[in-house]
Chain A
Amino acid sequence: MQASIDIASDAATQYLLRIGDTALILGQRLGEWTGHAPVLEEDIALANMALDLIGQARAVFSHAGAVEGRGHDEDQLAFLREERDYRNPTLVELPRGDFAFTVLRNAMAATFLRLLWTRLQASGDEELAAIAAKAVKEARYHQQHAADWVVRLGDGTEESRRRMLAALETLWPYAAELFADDAVDEAAAASGLGPRWSELKSDWQAQMAEVLGEAGLAVPAEAPFLSTGKRGVHSEHMGFILAEMQHLQRAYPGGVW
């Protein structure tokens, strides 16, 4: 079996991996809908968004590998790390749930990523700024699509509303982690690599409140719960998604298309 790679622990590499892993794992979760979405148009939409996200992840990983300086390429970073070395917030690794759960998570994640990419366009790291300038345009479509669905389901039938409320109750506590800073954020802000993620919080809350308000849903109160995916301490779901993603590269080392 192909062995795992060791990842550098410097803040810049960690900051980039948080971004790349967020896009990669959410992209993998959306890809699971291919052939299973409620209608063909949404099947296509979710697959297209998965493709955008995985494309963004590829670009960020290639760059992270260069910054890390250990010769790791995008495939090694995507497929050959141990679970603890993945740095995505727990929000994106939760199982895809029903369609209401998927579109609400997309709204939360796309709103966050659009704000993040917007700021990263001014990164002192030219390559990251270039990746962000492209990704921000894609995130705008993702956010619009997800928000439309949150409104349609929240302000829809009794059944769609029931499902949206259930999704909101489950997902909302995972938002807190997005904005919980640590030394990686401080270093990125100090070096000009990117913003502390907490700096995105007020805009994120305002935009989500607008979407939820239009959907007739109350913004849930903040809970003391704080998930820890960004530190590499993941939910019980992470191992399963990695097993599915990694088994080919592990069984056939270096396999390419």
Chain B
Amino acid sequence: MNALAVAASPRVERAWDVLAGVPDPEVPALSVCDLGIVREVREEGDALEVVLTPTYSGCPATEVIERSVLDALAAAGLGPARATLRRAPAWTTDWISAEGRRKLREYGIAPPGAAAAGEGVPIRIVSRRAAPPVPCPRCGSERTERLSAFGSTACKALYRCIACREPFEHFKPI
């Protein structure tokens, strides 16, 4: 922000408040704002424009998210609103807020580490041994093992804690 920055209009500010209450359909512990997929909210003429970015190319929740965002804004009397999709820059788990990471842990999902660290790395053969530890979201132990690189959704992997014996999910850095 600099001295010339124009304060957001009350309508845009209220829209952000409303969006902070719209849950992600796949990980309802998080709001769409916690997840970092709402990139911008602005007024375009009479309409409110919400710029969203997809998490994964094939995420089946993308359309549902768009609909719930528009429904929530309409219910709050902030319409008319429309949603547009912006691909670049590509979403990264680094955009999940600190608050979002805390909520994930409380929900039982180990939050992602820094994504930038994994970008462009050459393929690691037999990654299980080389991968950094993912602490158990329940007991905090770093003695955990990966059961599967893919979980109930594309964004998560399946893990097991060797210390407390509980299985858990890990939000993969991407």
Contacts and interface: CB of A to CB of B under 8 A. Distances in A.
Q: How big is chain B's contact interface, by range?
A: 20 to 34
B148 A44 contact: yes
Contact of A52 (B58, B87, B148): B58
Contact of A44 (B60, B92, B125, B150): B150
Given A129-B88, A133-B89, A144-B123, A59 B57 contact: yes
Given A44-B148, A143-B123, A134 B58 contact: no
Interface string B132-174: 0000000000000001111111100010000000000000101
Nearest to B131: A144
Interface stretch (A80-88, A185-193, A206-214): A206-214
B40 to A, nearest CB: 16
Nearest to A207: B123
B59 interface: yes
Interface string A169-211: 0000000000000000000000000000000000000010011
A141 B123 contact: no
A57 to B, nearest CB: 9
Interface in B14-54: 54
B123 A210 contact: yes
The 8 closest A-B pairs by CB, nearest first: A55-B58, A55-B57, A41-B148, A130-B88, A51-B58, A130-B87, A45-B150, A133-B90
Interface of B: 54, 56-60, 87-92, 115, 118-120, 122-128, 147-154, 158, 172, 174
